[in-house]
Amino acid sequence: MATACPPLSLPSTSLLRGGRSARAGPRRRQLSAVRCSAVGEAVAEEASAGTAEEPLLVSAIRGKKVERPPVWLMRQAGRYMKSYQLLCERYPKFRERSENVDLVVEISLQPWKVFKPDGVILFSDILTPLPGMNIPFDIVKGKGPVIYDPLRTAAAVNEVREFVPEEWVPYVGQALNLLRQEVKNEAAVLGFVGAPFTLASYCVEGGSSKNFTMIKKLAFSEPAILHNLLQKFTTSMANYIKYQADNGAQAVQIFDSWATELSPADFEEFSLPYLKQIVDSVRETHPDLPLILYASGSGGLLERLPLSGVDVVSLDWTVDMAEGRKRLGSNVAVQGNVDPGVLFGSKEFISKRIYDTVQKAGNVGHVLNLGHGIKVGTPEENVAHFFEVAKGIRY
């Protein structure tokens, strides 16, 4: 049964109005307001619930009238699910799970079969392309990513090759095709890549980092070396996005998780130009592919993120959704941004935070999500409640 949501009184600043540049992708139609009724019924005419031609998530990103916000969760396939835990007992190594087409499809579909999210994201990792670029790595349980030979010299960076996904990750293309066959257009199949600065951070630091000393030392003492590495990642990730789209991805999210470690001035030098290059390159061949940008802790950089040309900026929970909408402007959709910790609260508390986020986001161009990935230990029944409430909302 649909869960009713409170009436949404939307300020005009919440609605997406006006056009967008050709570089930023396809223009959204100017839309009239759609409100959420107190009884959970759609009020607007011709509001879409997703069609055989286009999933609800894609329609929402394009600014079309939809009956409710589409919903999916970052890390929705993962360690909080009992089914995933059981699979990990049989296949204990992450790369064993993420580089096998059958396991990738099975894991990607685990949340789909239980919760029916509006987005089914490929189970993979942003570092998956690294071996194809001559950068050996592994993901070690309890430690995370390990880059065996950190890239800190010009000679090391010169050894990095351009990534050819058809040769190195054919299982990704196969998995995306199978996911499309499975979910059809009942949900959007989502691909993803790492942004150049974030990938470079892992490769220069040798793994995860708290202080990012090594990459900042490289950036501020030998910037030409870092720019060379960033350009290689830029070309490779643009190709990877196109490969994913050619094999079934209906939208692609770019994770620039560590770009927010940069000052605004350094973001404009070491991250933003390369994000723009990726978007521009993808637009040349796939002009209608929705691109989402996520950078955790991005409050200090928020106005700069839409300058990349992406269709959607994914907000983390440290930014108030209404303020984020105002700061981003009217030409970009938003995703997010419920605190993942909310899922440890009561069902009533979860519902309240969902309604608050949806009301502040407005009724056009919003994809409901968390502000970060689901945390380990999150009660699975609370995730189920999140989806039930979200899918019961009607504008």
Question: CB of 2 within 8 A of CB of 41?
Answer: no
State the pLDDT at residue 143.
84
What average pLDDT does this structure show over 312-334?
96
Question: What's the confidence (pLDDT) of residue 31?
Answer: 33
With a cut of 90, say whether residue 159 has pLDDT above it: yes
In a domain, 42, yes or no: no
Supply the pLDDT for residue 83: 96
pLDDT tens digits along 280-308? 999 999 999 999 999 999 999 999 999 99
pLDDT for 141 equals: 82
What digits encode the pLDDT tens for the residues 115-139?
A: 999 999 999 999 999 999 999 999 9
66-75, 164-173, 203-212: range with lowest mean pLDDT: 203-212
| Average pLDDT score over residue span 169-186 | 97
Res 23 pLDDT > 90:
no
Within a domain: 215 = yes
| Full domain range(s) for residue 121 | 56-392
Confidence of residue 142 (pLDDT cuts 50, 70, 90): confident
- The pLDDT assigned to 268 comes to 97
Q: Which CATH number characterizes residue 316's domain?
A: 3.20.20.210
Q: Is residue 234 part of a domain?
A: yes
pLDDT of residue 303: 96
196, part of any domain = yes
pLDDT surpassing 60 at residue 7: no
Q: Report whether pLDDT(29) > 90.
A: no
Q: Is the pLDDT of residue 46 over 60?
A: no
Distance CA(318)–CA(304), nearest Å, equals 17
Percentage of residues in the chain having pLDDT higher than 90: 83
pTM > 0.85: yes
C-alpha pair distances (Å), 326 with each of 11, 63, 164, 267, 329: 11, 17, 40, 21, 6
255 inside domain: yes
> Is 4 inside any structural domain?
no
Give the per-residue pLDDT at 27. 38
Confidence tier at 15 by pLDDT (50, 70, 90): very low
Tell me the C-alpha to C-alpha distance, in Å, between residue 66 and each of 45, 62, 160, 260.
10, 10, 45, 32
**Would 20 be classed as within a structural domain?**
no
How does the average pLDDT of the chain come out, rounded?
Answer: 89
For residue 373, pLDDT over 70 is answered with yes
Q: What is the pLDDT of residue 26?
A: 41
Count of domains observed in the chain = 1
Residues paired with 137 in a beta bridge: 147
- In three-state form (DSSP H/G/I as H, E/B as E, the rest C), the secondary structure along the chain is CCCCCCCCCCCHHHCCCCCCCCCCCCCCCCCCCCCECCCCCECCCCCECCCCCCCHHHHHHCCCCECCCCECCCCCCCCCCHHHHHHHHHCCCHHHHHCCHHHHHHHHHHHHHHHCCCEEECCCCCCCCHHHHCCCEEEECCCEEEECCCCCCHHHHHCCCCCCHHHHCHHHHHHHHHHHHHHCCCCEEEEEEECHHHHHHHHHHCECCCCCHHHHHHHHHCHHHHHHHHHHHHHHHHHHHHHHHHCCCCEEEEECCCHHHCCHHHHHHHCHHHHHHHHHHHHHHCCCCCEEEECCCCHHHHHHHHHHCCCEEECCCCCCHHHHHHHHCCCCEEEEEECHHHHHCCHHHHHHHHHHHHHHHCCCCEEEEECCCCCCCCCHHHHHHHHHHHHHCCC
Residue 237 within any structural domain of the chain? yes
